[in-house]
Amino acid sequence: MLGMWKTNAPDEFVSVKFDMEMREGSSPSDGASSTPNSSGRRRNSAEAKEGLGFIMCKRLVQMMQGNIWISLNPLASAQSMTLVLRFQNRPSYGRATFAPGSSSEQPSSNPQFRGLRVILADDDALNRAVTKKLLEKLGCEVTAVSSGFECLSALNSAENSVRLVVLDIQMPEMDGFEVATRIRKVRSRSWPLIIAVTASAEDNVWERCLQMGMNGMIRKPVLLQGMADELQRVLQRAGEGL
């Protein structure tokens, strides 16, 4: 049996409770026995029945903010075991829809990316289409633009709702570095986050990116796992206030 409830405390935690029924002959722990013992306090009897294995489990569960105990029936033999786990409520970024046909191997179930607002800037139509789809697959909400100018104006009109800008470095007219510099002139280093996309294999591209105020970099060809990893890394660092 499985139940779930919210405590009276402010919406910080959600508890999940497991009730496990004990059948004749089964025991919840190494040392539990079912000898009738009507004397003594109920709590003590339960504890007497707890073997080392159970005690260890109990300790672990309690360290994780949960609890576990054995309930006795009137004959003081173990009737059921209850496990309570407590989870902290995380802010949700929005709802995600999972395509029923998607394979379970995909990195698309990371809740961090759900509803993440992204502006994607790439002058190449093909790359833009593929990267956009890729980001959407990860759960992001993507606005795709084809130049540095469009990127800056989209950012301005969106005010603070855009969390991340994914920027192709090699764009004609205004390249990614220029765009990043302009963004950082008026915005803080971690909002919006900027991830550069580059075809270059040179070592010092990353340094240049950092200097321009970018937070991450990904090399072409852009693959799902690579993007997911870099997104995660960048969001994590931002969360740590780095």
Partner 1 sequence: MDSVVLLQRQLVDYTAQLFNEGFLDDQFNQLQQLQDESNPDFVVEVVTLFFEDSERLLNELAKALEQQSIDYRKIDAHVHQLKGQQLQKVCIAFRNYCEERNIEGCQKCLQQVKNEYSLVKTKLETLFKLEQQVLAAGGSIPWPM
For the bound state, the minimum distance from the C-beta of residue 222 to partner 1, rounded and expressed in Å, comes to: 9
Nearer to partner 1 among residue 116 and residue 222 (C-beta):
222
For residues 76 and 73, give the distance between their C-alpha atoms in angstroms, rounded to a whole number: 5
Ordered DSSP codes for 135-183: HHHTT-EEEEESSHHHHHHHHHHHTT---EEEEES--SSS-HHHHHHHH
Cβ neighbours for 113, distance < 8 A, ≥ 6 positions apart: 93, 138, 139, 140, 228, 231
Nearer to partner 1 among residue 103 and residue 204 (C-beta):
103
The strands making up 216-219's β-sheet, listed across from edge to edge, are 141-145, 117-121, 164-168, 193-198, 216-219
For the bound state, the minimum distance from the C-beta of residue 149 to partner 1, rounded and expressed in Å, comes to: 18
Residues in contact with partner 1 by the rule CB under 8 A: 99-103, 106, 124-126, 129-130, 133-134, 137, 170, 172, 221, 223-224
For the bound state, the minimum distance from the C-beta of residue 240 to partner 1, rounded and expressed in Å, comes to: 30
For the bound state, the minimum distance from the C-beta of residue 9 to partner 1, rounded and expressed in Å, comes to: 39
For the bound state, the minimum distance from the C-beta of residue 97 to partner 1, rounded and expressed in Å, comes to: 8
Nearer to partner 1 among residue 50 and residue 168 (C-beta):
168
Nearer to partner 1 among residue 30 and residue 124 (C-beta):
124
Residue 148: CB atoms within 10 A of its CB come to: 24
Nearer to partner 1 among residue 47 and residue 178 (C-beta):
178
CA dihedral over 217, 202, 122, 139, signed as positive or negative? negative
Distances (CA, A) of 224 to 18, 126, 142, 157, 228: 37, 16, 15, 29, 6
For the bound state, the minimum distance from the C-beta of residue 96 to partner 1, rounded and expressed in Å, comes to: 12
- In degrees, to the nearest 5, what angle opens at C-alpha 165 toward C-alphas 236 and 121? 150
Question: What is the Cα Rg of the chain in Å?
Answer: 27
Nearer to partner 1 among residue 31 and residue 226 (C-beta):
226
Q: Which two tokens stand for residue 210?
A: 């950092």
For the bound state, the minimum distance from the C-beta of residue 106 to partner 1, rounded and expressed in Å, comes to: 7
Nearer to partner 1 among residue 56 and residue 223 (C-beta):
223
